[in-house]
Amino acid sequence: MPERLGGVGASVGGLPGSDLPGSDVVDVLAPRPVLESTTVHHGMIWDIVAERVDLGEAGPVRREFVSHPGAVAVLTLDDRGRVLLVQQYRHPAEHMLWELPAGLLDVAGEPPVDAARRELAEEGDLVAGTWHVLLDIFMSPGGSDEAVRIFLARDVSPVADSDRFAREHEELGMVAAWVDLDEARDAVLAGRVHSPTAVCGLMAAVMARDSGWATLRPDDAPWPEHKAYR
Q: Distance from CA of residue 67 to its chain's centroid?
A: 15
* Separation CA 42–CA 32 (nearest Å): 24
Contact assessment for residue 70 and residue 104, using Cβ atoms and an 8 Å cutoff: yes
Residues with Cβ within 8 Å of residue 15, at least 6 apart in sequence: none
Neighbours of 126 (CB within 10 A): 20
Selection from 161, 148, 160 nearest residue 195 by Cα: 148
Active site residues: 171
* Separation CA 82–CA 105 (nearest Å): 26
* Separation CA 183–CA 83 (nearest Å): 10
Residues with Cβ within 8 Å of residue 3, at least 6 apart in sequence: none
Selection from 39, 78, 32, 29 nearest residue 56 by Cα: 32
The secondary structure of the chain in percent helix, strand, coil, rounded to multiples of 5, reads 25, 35, 40
